[in-house]
Amino acid sequence: MTGTHPHPDEEAGARSTAYRRIREDIVGGVLAPGWWVREGALAEQLGVSRTPVREALNALAAEGLVEIVRHRGARVLPWTMRDVDEVYSIRAVLEGEGARLAAIRASDEEVQGLWESAERFEQAARELVDLRARGRGGDAAARGAVDAVTEANGVLHRAVLTAAGSPRLTVLLRSLSSEARIGQVFHHYTDADLTRSMVGHHDIVLGIERHDAPLAESAMRSHILAARHAAARSASDAPAPSTRGTAQIDRDRAREGWGRGQGVP
């Protein structure tokens, strides 16, 4: 720090630290819907000034995670079952159109990039499944694996939109749901959900590669609508999970073996 004014790099670092801390606490459920995030308390806890905390909260408000209430602070917003249904239903239509356009317009290089993105998602997902199988589903490595899954998923979906060549579609989708919300959802994915996503990504990219617009569109719509059911478990008003029968558990375990190039029973 020089004089009384922090260096711009220090300000950016403090803002990033505050943003990550608040975002992780919201996504991880430490900060529940309706809770207040106090600038002063958090700034003191992180050892930074109030300015980077305020900027971080403004960024999170733009993502729909908090709302800024004048003279009171920032309140964590709920993510309800109705929100999930609305966002995922609209995403299914818009991203389905994006996949359809990508099947018409994608270059060979873009298709190759999509396959690579699908592969990265699969690797990250399998790492998360492996950590859970070894009883490490709640440790730092598993949280890192969830972040890797979220990032790989975002890269693939953004690549589909890039291949679609429709900036308007990209803007519309960006306004619907933030990557932080999607990360929150992935914390609630079961191993079967992850496997279903792998298969869905394969079918989407296959449709784009073969320039089969109906296949790409229907695969994307089905992928988003299936994800909606997993996303519902992340809702603040989601019902308590019910106990499933042994037959359902066995079916889920059987599906865990599905992967790229394998058929779906």
Supply the DSSP symbol for 205: H
pLDDT band at residue 72, thresholds of 50, 70 and 90? confident
Q: What is the largest CA-CA distance in the chain?
A: 68
pLDDT band at residue 71, thresholds of 50, 70 and 90? confident
Half-sphere exposure of 202 (CA within 13 A, CB side): 15
Query: Which domains are present in the chain?
Result: 8-76 (1.10.10.10), 81-255 (1.20.120.530)
pLDDT (average), residues 196-221: 98
Q: How far is residue 202's CA from residue 189's CA, in Å, rounded to a whole number?
A: 18
Three-state secondary structure of 23-41: HHHHHCCCCCCCCEECHHH
pLDDT band at residue 81, thresholds of 50, 70 and 90? very high
- For 117-121, 237-241, 252-256, which range has the lowest pLDDT when averaged over its residues? 252-256
Q: Per the structure block, which two tokens stand in for 24?
A: 């992780």
Q: How far is residue 249's CA from residue 69's CA, in Å, rounded to a whole number?
A: 45
- Residue that is written with structure tokens 């994608």 in the block: 106
Q: Give the pLDDT of residue 20.
A: 85
Which H or E run contains 74?
A: strand 73-76
pLDDT band at residue 265, thresholds of 50, 70 and 90? very low
Q: Which residue has the higher pLDDT, 208 or 14?
A: 208
Half-sphere exposure of 250 (CA within 13 A, CB side): 3
The yes-or-no verdict on residue 144 having pLDDT over 70 is yes
The yes-or-no verdict on residue 261 having pLDDT over 80 is no
Residue type, 122: E
* Tens-digit pLDDT profile for residues 83-136: 899 999 999 999 999 999 999 999 999 999 999 999 999 999 999 999 999 999
Residue 66's nearest CA partner among 197, 221, 178, 218 is: 178
pLDDT band at residue 7, thresholds of 50, 70 and 90? low
